[in-house]
Amino acid sequence: MSIHTYCDGFTRRDFLRVGTISGFGFGFGLPEYLSHAAAGGVTPSGKTKSAIFVRLGGGASHLDTFDLKPDAPDTHRGEFRPIGTNVPGLQICEHLPKLAQCADRFALLRGVSHTLAAHELAQPYMGTGNRQLPSISFPSYGAVVSKEFPQIPELPSFVAVPRQGTAPTGFLGAEFGPFETGITPKPGQAMQIHGLALNGVTLADIDRRQNLVKRFDTAFGSFANHDRVLSGMDEFGQKAFSMIRSNRARDAFDLTKEPASITGLFAPDSFSQSCLLAARLVEAGVKFITLNHVSWDSHYDNFNQLKNNLLPPLDAGLSALFAALKAKGLFDSTVVFVTGEFGRTPRINERAGRDHHPRANCCLLAGGGIRGGQVVGASDARGEEPLDRVITPDDVAATFYTALGIDPKKEYRTTSGRPVMIVRHGTPLPELL
């Protein structure tokens, strides 16, 4: 499915105009914001999809998760053994048993390859689908989604748990940035989110104060209606107020409101609870959620770290997420994308760790119409290079956007007026769509 190229109803000329003006540093792209806000009423009908981006920050070892090499030499193979899954012929790591039981729900991409072995370069590449240029800062997936999809009343359209990490909005600007929770959810608790939690302030207090603001904020008079910047600020102010005033956003972050049939699927660790929150937020209407699952940078003691701390929550969290989305009827309209910024060196280092290895990473895609139960691409016998077909981060990004109904070739203008496509070089992988 694909939304027509200019889904916001802009003609090419309008688009240029907005782009150019934003270039001078005071553009809100307000017409877009307004048209989105106005269209907000039609959103929850399910016309647009949602996405959950799970960022395995630090770079998860492909060889010890989804691309095991049991026949590689001792110097490379690692301690973990592969296990079979509910998809014949597909094997993954023995420490991911729950995912093995639902492998039909996701697709694995192997041999995803690039050349940037530093976190600060690779993260924005994997998080935007574009290799960084010195002159352009590209927008994250979430920023593009919140630009492309209609705004939702009383809710942020892009949420990061607990933070987005690198490259939040790039040249698109703060308007499309994430709402960051700052904290991860705890089982059975409502989250106290900075700026949203009331902490003893009553709704009556809020109304009285807001009433005062309304009376005070008259300096610009009718003037404000003719100025993009001023009326834009009013829009954001009203939305922020409506978020605080209504309970919709607070409820969305309140895990105690989730039925036991759903909460029971999730383990108590913070990643699993973040997955539960993500499912709840999608149901509430949030369009994009980043789950930032960090500490995968296992230069030391790779196997114990993975076995004890990292793989069990990943296994429990993701498998429960798929089950919860299924139970809520949201699985087919929610694209889940799981990736680190690179894989790790096949050769085990002297500290029983693995270092950065961008040449043959592994990604997981699920839901939202992605055809699960298959592996696309492959790495060589030691997991060092792609076997024959090279899948780039650009291709994965183009697939992700296409699954969401966003044309990856759509053109934006940067702040300096330069035309740039959402994904500059990628081609969607036909097997997945």
Minimum Å gap between C-beta 169 and another protein is 9
Rounded to whole angstroms, the Cα distance separating 117 from 114 reads 8
- Per-residue CA distances from 227 to 28, 132, 343 (Å): 10, 34, 49
Within the chain, how many helices (H) and strands (E) appear? 14, 14
Minimum Å gap between C-beta 58 and another protein is 16
Number of residues located near another protein, criterion CB under 8 A: 66
Rounded to whole angstroms, the Cα distance separating 157 from 87 reads 35
* Start-end of H helices in 66-166: 74-77, 97-100, 119-128, 141-148
Is 25 a binding residue for another protein by CB under 8 A? The answer is yes
Cβ closest to another protein, residue 104 vs residue 411:
411
Among the residue ranges 52-60, 171-179, 299-307, 378-386, the one whose residues contact another protein (CB under 8 A): 171-179
What one-letter code names the amino acid at 9?
G
Is 203 a binding residue for another protein by CB under 8 A? The answer is no
The 59-98 contact track toward another protein, x by CB under 8 A, reads: ----------------------------------------
The 226-245 contact track toward another protein, x by CB under 8 A, reads: xxxxx-xxxxxx-xxx-xx-
- Per-residue CA distances from 18 to 15, 31, 32 (Å): 5, 8, 9
Rounded to whole angstroms, the Cα distance separating 379 from 63 reads 10
State CA 11 to chain mean position distance: 29
Contacts of residue 218, Cβ cutoff 8 Å, sequence gap at least 6: none
Cβ closest to another protein, residue 163 vs residue 410:
163
Minimum Å gap between C-beta 427 and another protein is 22
The 134-153 contact track toward another protein, x by CB under 8 A, reads: xxxx----------------
Query: Which one among 38, 42, 203, 212 touches another protein, defined by CB under 8 A?
Result: 212
Helix (H, G, I), strand (E, B) or coil at 379: strand
Peptide bond into 312 cis (omega under 30): no
Query: Which one among 8, 32, 67, 180 touches another protein, defined by CB under 8 A?
Result: 180
Rounded to whole angstroms, the Cα distance separating 218 from 304 reads 62
For tokens 């296994």, what's the residue? 315
Cβ closest to another protein, residue 167 vs residue 366:
167
Residues in 399-428 that interact with another protein by CB under 8 A: 415-417
- Give the residues lining the site for another protein (CB under 8 A): 17, 20-21, 23-28, 134-137, 156, 163-165, 168, 173-180, 182, 194-199, 201, 205-206, 208-209, 212-213, 215-217, 219-220, 223-224, 226-230, 232-237, 239-241, 243-244, 415-417
